[in-house]
Structure 1
Amino acid sequence: MLLKELTEAFGVSGNEKEVRDLILNEIKDFVTDIKVDKIGNIIAYKKGKIDSPKLMITAHMDEVGLMITGIDNSGLLKFTTVGGIDKRILVSKTVRIGKNKINGVIGSKPIHLQDKDEWSKALDIKNLYIDIGVNTKEEAEKLVSIGDYVMFNSEYIEFGNNLIKAKALDNRVGCSVLIDLLKEETDLSFYGVFTVMEEVGLVGAGPAAYSVEPDISIILEGTLCADTPGTEDHMIPTKLGHGPAISLMDRTTLFDVNLRQKIVSIAKENNIPYQFRKTTFGGNDSGKIHLAKKGSVTSTISVPCRYIHSPVSVMSKKDYYNTHKLLLAIINKIEEGDFNEF
């Protein structure tokens, strides 16, 4: 599955080249035009027989990670986070650093040596370090540099009832769905856009939308899922295996009601399971896309992922395939002229 290559690639925000190169290689024979803009967004155009309304489908390439900020005399590395990471998940994780993917382990003072008040709270990042197995600053400097990006080291694994464990499912799952869509034969012309630096402020989306000027934008995401013990049902944003999640609102966007209703009716008509993303936490590229130039009506369709923004996110292959089916059904409806009001 292409998703394995995408999730195991190095693509922390601002350092998406490895992911971008993978995507370019996958789509180059299936689109009419490709350009990479000055900040690294991929803007691909797939020409069909029908050009209106102008549709843009997007997915961000970047993942959360770390960056090296210091090297101490013993060769241990200090770091900061890139994107939103719960510091409680950091201790003991394995990582890869820089272009040479140097192996490292995130360490801390052993619990045996911690004060009692430290046992009950997450250690601050200033008390953590990355151990790359050297003894001096000079040895470390031969392998890594301040400013090097750091990604979690996590293998793609399929397990259980059609589930996948991997890092960076937010949002390589969206990238993978969009790649699959660009490979389909459709009569509708549309733009497939892969954006940079979403995790650090929706950086790439604004310039991409400004360039394309879409009428309709669909943002593909891997979104939070919390269908776990102890969570009240009304607090569960999405559930694994219940189909693609259609967003109502988030911190950056009140999604277009008419477009959402259209998408829901298409899902029902085609017997595609769906759910609503019930939480308003977080935001995505829609926050910048719907504001660019004259604006664009937007909707976000997401694949639910447990343990998001960690090295071990989990998703359902069933949700993946139903997301793809829903997007194809939407394109078919647009081809039939059912979206002309947009």
Structure 2
Amino acid sequence: MDRTEQFLKELTETPGVSGYESQVRALMRRYLEPVATIAQDRIGSIIGKRVGQSKSPRVMLVGHMDEIGFMVRHITKEGFIKFQPLGGWWDQVLLGQRVTLKTCQGDVTGIIGAKPPHLLPKDERDKVVEKKDMYIDIGATSKEEVAEAGVRVGDPIIPVSEFTVLANPQTYMAKALDNRVGCALAVQALERLAQDQHPNTLYAVGTVMEEVGLRGAKTTAHVVEPDVAIVLEVDICGDVPGIKDEESAVKLGAGPSMLVFDARMIPNLKLRDLVIATAEELEIPLQFSSMSGGATDGGMVHLHNEGVPAVVIGVPTRHIHSHAAIMHRQDYDRALDLIVALVKKLDESTVKDLVI
């Protein structure tokens, strides 16, 4: 296991659902402190600053720390836990999955359940169970037992899924790849550039609460006051059964991607073209993606003050927003090379010229 693989393992196995990112922040701080000056906003996002050959332009690399998860919403008198989703969950992926409740007395393990199919009439058996009808079972038989275990309303609930190297050793499966991949890219890009020259001041930012409304992106933009932003994300693979190329042509292992459209942002066109040109120079295959049903931290950052030229670079990932997603290491490494090369080009005159 090399350093990058170890870093991804640590990041993905660290719990940090939206609003509860402190352990992820501590891990990012540990990696950033040797190479950056550390700051935080007042809602928990972390910012690593590295001054290069010039104080300006200010280049912001953004990855969100939070993963999707749940929160304890209600405890029934029989000892079952009703939950509030944090982020977008698809009902089909939930039943039978293990979860960890982070309580004042330590971790408590549970499983997501629903009314047994054996007791359902046939017409109900064929329907998808909705989240509102599910519960978490920790093996308790009363509300009092749940309280004795330390579980309280408001406690965070984290999916259980360890980092796993798959049969192809270049592919990794883990929870929270969305978006610990972006956090890792931001940190490792700054680490690489700390050993080299860059004509700007670089900020590696881990934001909070992206999955519930791009909240940390808004506050960190006020702290950094970026002149240009590169949002680092996972991207949705379209190479699984049932998806046509016209819906998504993004494939695992075929290179990093660039988002040309999402529900909250169209990238700066000159910055988009600079990404394309840089990928071509490095002979990095670049895939193109659009997403009409979602957004990234760029949706908030690019509207800061008078506006910030921004673009999203992604690592193609299968099965995001579930207990376990799959990424390809080569896509990650190529994305990192592309980001580092791009930052080196972002001098004062280049960034000024990005304004359309």
TM-score range, shorter chain: over 0.9
Determine which of 101, 110, 115 is the counterpart of 1:109: 115
1:13 is matched with which residue? Answer: 18
Residue 194 of structure 1: aligned partner: 206
Whole-Å separation in 2 of the counterparts to 1:56 and 1:241? 26
Separation of aligned partners in 1, 2:73 and 2:58: 44
Aligned to 2:85: 81
Cα distance in 2 between the residues matched to 1:224 and 1:30: 32
Aligned residue for 2:3?
Answer: none
Give 3-state SS (helix, strand or coil) of 2:66's partner.
coil
**SS, match of residue 242 in structure 1:** coil
Answer whether contact 2:65 2:208 (CA < 8 A) is retained: yes
TM-score by length of 2: 0.92
Measure, in 2, the Cα distance between the counterparts of 1:118 and 1:304. Answer: 36
Q: CA deviation at 1:338?
A: 4.7
Contact 2:171–2:329 under 8 Å retained in 1: yes
- Cα deviation per residue 1:66-103 (whole Å; 9 max; x = unaligned)? 11111112211111211111011110000000242210
Distance 1:245 1:281 in 2: 17
Secondary structure, counterpart of 2:254 in structure 1: coil
Moved more, 66-75 or 245-254: 66-75
Matched, 1:148 2:155: yes
**Does the Cα contact within 8 Å between 1:224 and 1:237 map onto a contact in 2?**
no
1:40 and 2:44 are equivalent in the alignment: yes
Does the 8 Å CA contact 1:238/1:278 hold for their aligned counterparts? no
How far the C-alpha of 1:339 sits from its partner, in A, is 4.4
**Secondary structure of the structure 1 residue equivalent to 2:185:** helix
Q: Distance in 2 between matches of 1:77 and 1:228?
A: 34
- RMSD between aligned alpha carbons? 1.4
Per the alignment, residue 243 of structure 2 pairs with 231
Check whether the contact 2:262–2:290 (CA below 8 A) recurs between aligned residues: no
Unpaired runs of 5+ residues, structure 2, are 1-5
Equivalent residues in 2 for 1:188-337, closer than 5 Å: 188=198, 189-236=201-248, 238-334=250-346
1:236 deviates by 1.6
Q: TM-score, normalised by structure 1?
A: 0.96
> How many pairs align?
341
Taking the aligned partners of 2:308 and 2:347, their CA distance within structure 1 comes to 19
| Shift, 1:51, TM fit | 3.1
Task: Give the alignment partner of residue 122 of structure 1, picking from 98, 110, 128.
Answer: 128
CA contact (8 A) 1:51 1:190 kept: no
CA contact (8 A) 2:263 2:291 kept: no
Compared with structure 1, are the counterparts of its residues 79 and 237 closer, same or farther at alpha carbon in structure 2 (3 Å cutoff)? farther
d(CA) in 1 for partners of 2:131 and 2:293? 24
Q: Separation in 2 of the partners of 1:50 and 1:97?
A: 46
Q: 2:173 aligns with which of 165, 173, 180?
A: 165
For 1:67 and 1:336, locate their aligned partners in 2 and report how far apart those are by CA, in whole Å.
45
What amino acid maps onto 1:205 in structure 2? A
C-alpha distance in structure 1 between counterparts of 2:346 and 2:82, whole Å:
51
Corresponding letter in the other structure for 1:90: L
- State percent identity of aligned pairs: 39
Contact 2:228-2:351 within 8 A present in 1 as well: no
- Residue 52 of structure 1 and its aligned partner are, at CA, apart by 3.1
Structure 1 unmatched runs, 5+: none
Structure 1 segments, 4+ long, off by >6 Å, are: none
Distance 1:85 1:299, change over 3 A: same
The aligned amino acid for 1:329 is: A
